[in-house]
Amino acid sequence: MSQKLRKKCLTALQKLARISAADQLGMVQCVSCEKRLHWKDADGGHYIAKGSSSYWALEVENVHPQCKGCNCFGMSKGSAEGQYTLWMIDMYGEDFVRQMHQDKRKLKKLYKKDYEDMLQHFNELIKYHEERLS
Protein backbone atom coordinates (compact mmCIF):
# COMPACT_ATOMS: atom_id res chain seq x y z
CA MET A 1 0.00 0.00 0.00
CA SER A 2 2.75 2.44 0.89
CA GLN A 3 4.43 1.99 -2.51
CA LYS A 4 1.24 3.04 -4.33
CA LEU A 5 0.87 6.05 -2.02
CA ARG A 6 4.54 6.93 -2.52
CA LYS A 7 4.06 6.86 -6.29
CA LYS A 8 0.99 9.11 -6.00
CA CYS A 9 3.00 11.51 -3.83
CA LEU A 10 5.85 11.59 -6.35
CA THR A 11 3.40 12.34 -9.18
CA ALA A 12 1.67 15.07 -7.17
CA LEU A 13 5.00 16.64 -6.12
CA GLN A 14 6.23 16.72 -9.70
CA LYS A 15 2.98 18.41 -10.78
CA LEU A 16 3.21 20.85 -7.88
CA ALA A 17 6.79 21.75 -8.80
CA ARG A 18 5.70 22.62 -12.32
CA ILE A 19 2.40 24.39 -11.66
CA SER A 20 3.68 26.43 -8.70
CA ALA A 21 6.51 27.84 -10.83
CA ALA A 22 4.17 28.86 -13.65
CA ASP A 23 3.57 32.50 -14.46
CA GLN A 24 0.09 33.87 -15.26
CA LEU A 25 0.35 32.45 -18.79
CA GLY A 26 1.20 29.00 -17.43
CA MET A 27 4.82 29.21 -18.56
CA VAL A 28 7.81 27.89 -16.64
CA GLN A 29 11.53 28.02 -17.25
CA CYS A 30 13.73 24.92 -17.24
CA VAL A 31 16.12 25.27 -14.33
CA SER A 32 18.91 23.70 -16.40
CA CYS A 33 18.75 25.28 -19.87
CA GLU A 34 16.32 28.17 -19.22
CA LYS A 35 14.01 27.07 -22.05
CA ARG A 36 10.48 28.45 -21.56
CA LEU A 37 7.60 26.04 -21.93
CA HIS A 38 4.10 25.47 -20.64
CA TRP A 39 4.04 23.82 -17.22
CA LYS A 40 2.04 20.89 -18.65
CA ASP A 41 4.87 20.19 -21.12
CA ALA A 42 7.63 20.32 -18.50
CA ASP A 43 8.90 17.61 -16.18
CA GLY A 44 9.26 17.91 -12.44
CA GLY A 45 12.96 17.13 -12.31
CA HIS A 46 14.63 15.92 -9.14
CA TYR A 47 17.96 17.57 -8.29
CA ILE A 48 18.95 14.59 -6.14
CA ALA A 49 17.57 11.61 -8.05
CA LYS A 50 14.48 10.12 -6.44
CA GLY A 51 15.92 6.61 -6.69
CA SER A 52 19.14 7.53 -4.91
CA SER A 53 17.72 9.29 -1.86
CA SER A 54 14.72 8.40 0.22
CA TYR A 55 15.55 11.48 2.29
CA TRP A 56 15.06 14.03 -0.53
CA ALA A 57 12.74 12.18 -2.94
CA LEU A 58 9.54 13.86 -1.68
CA GLU A 59 10.89 17.25 -0.59
CA VAL A 60 9.68 20.32 -2.50
CA GLU A 61 13.15 21.88 -2.45
CA ASN A 62 14.43 18.96 -4.53
CA VAL A 63 11.97 19.13 -7.47
CA HIS A 64 11.77 21.92 -10.04
CA PRO A 65 10.65 22.40 -13.66
CA GLN A 66 12.88 20.94 -16.33
CA CYS A 67 12.38 20.40 -20.03
CA LYS A 68 12.24 16.74 -21.03
CA GLY A 69 15.65 16.87 -22.71
CA CYS A 70 17.42 18.15 -19.61
CA ASN A 71 15.54 15.85 -17.24
CA CYS A 72 15.82 12.67 -19.31
CA PHE A 73 19.24 12.91 -20.93
CA GLY A 74 20.94 16.07 -19.75
CA MET A 75 21.16 15.05 -16.10
CA SER A 76 23.16 11.91 -16.89
CA LYS A 77 24.83 12.62 -20.22
CA GLY A 78 24.93 16.39 -20.61
CA SER A 79 25.53 19.62 -18.75
CA ALA A 80 22.06 19.84 -17.16
CA GLU A 81 23.23 18.59 -13.76
CA GLY A 82 25.88 21.30 -13.52
CA GLN A 83 23.40 23.99 -14.54
CA TYR A 84 20.82 22.63 -12.09
CA THR A 85 23.44 22.80 -9.32
CA LEU A 86 24.17 26.45 -10.10
CA TRP A 87 20.43 27.21 -10.10
CA MET A 88 20.00 25.43 -6.75
CA ILE A 89 22.86 27.44 -5.24
CA ASP A 90 21.31 30.68 -6.51
CA MET A 91 17.90 29.63 -5.16
CA TYR A 92 18.79 28.09 -1.79
CA GLY A 93 22.42 28.95 -1.12
CA GLU A 94 25.55 26.86 -1.22
CA ASP A 95 25.25 25.67 2.39
CA PHE A 96 21.79 24.20 1.78
CA VAL A 97 22.90 22.44 -1.42
CA ARG A 98 25.94 20.99 0.36
CA GLN A 99 23.62 19.79 3.14
CA MET A 100 21.40 18.10 0.56
CA HIS A 101 24.37 16.11 -0.71
CA GLN A 102 25.41 15.18 2.82
CA ASP A 103 21.88 14.05 3.68
CA LYS A 104 21.14 12.12 0.49
CA ARG A 105 22.28 8.84 2.00
CA LYS A 106 20.13 9.28 5.11
CA LEU A 107 17.09 7.08 5.34
CA LYS A 108 13.66 8.55 5.87
CA LYS A 109 11.05 6.04 6.94
CA LEU A 110 7.57 7.15 5.99
CA TYR A 111 4.37 5.40 6.98
CA LYS A 112 0.98 5.21 5.31
CA LYS A 113 -0.32 8.18 7.33
CA ASP A 114 2.75 10.26 6.34
CA TYR A 115 2.06 9.59 2.66
CA GLU A 116 -1.65 10.32 3.06
CA ASP A 117 -0.94 13.64 4.78
CA MET A 118 1.69 14.57 2.21
CA LEU A 119 -0.61 13.72 -0.69
CA GLN A 120 -3.42 15.79 0.80
CA HIS A 121 -1.07 18.76 1.29
CA PHE A 122 0.34 18.53 -2.25
CA ASN A 123 -3.17 18.26 -3.73
CA GLU A 124 -4.37 21.31 -1.78
CA LEU A 125 -1.45 23.34 -3.14
CA ILE A 126 -2.05 22.05 -6.67
CA LYS A 127 -5.71 23.07 -6.44
CA TYR A 128 -4.68 26.56 -5.30
CA HIS A 129 -2.37 26.96 -8.30
CA GLU A 130 -4.93 25.53 -10.72
CA GLU A 131 -7.39 28.19 -9.53
CA ARG A 132 -4.69 30.86 -9.71
CA LEU A 133 -4.01 29.99 -13.36
CA SER A 134 -7.65 29.57 -14.48
What number is the average pLDDT over the span 77-106?
Answer: 93
pTM summary value: 0.92
pLDDT value of position 53 = 74
Q: Distance between CA 91 and CA 89 in Å, rounded?
A: 5
Among the listed residues 81, 44, 77, 36, the one whose alpha carbon sits nearest the alpha carbon of residue 61: 44
The 10s digit of each residue's pLDDT in 25-78 is 999 999 999 999 999 999 999 999 888 777 899 999 999 999 999 998 777 777
What does the pLDDT average to over 80-103? Answer: 95
Give residue 109's pLDDT. 87
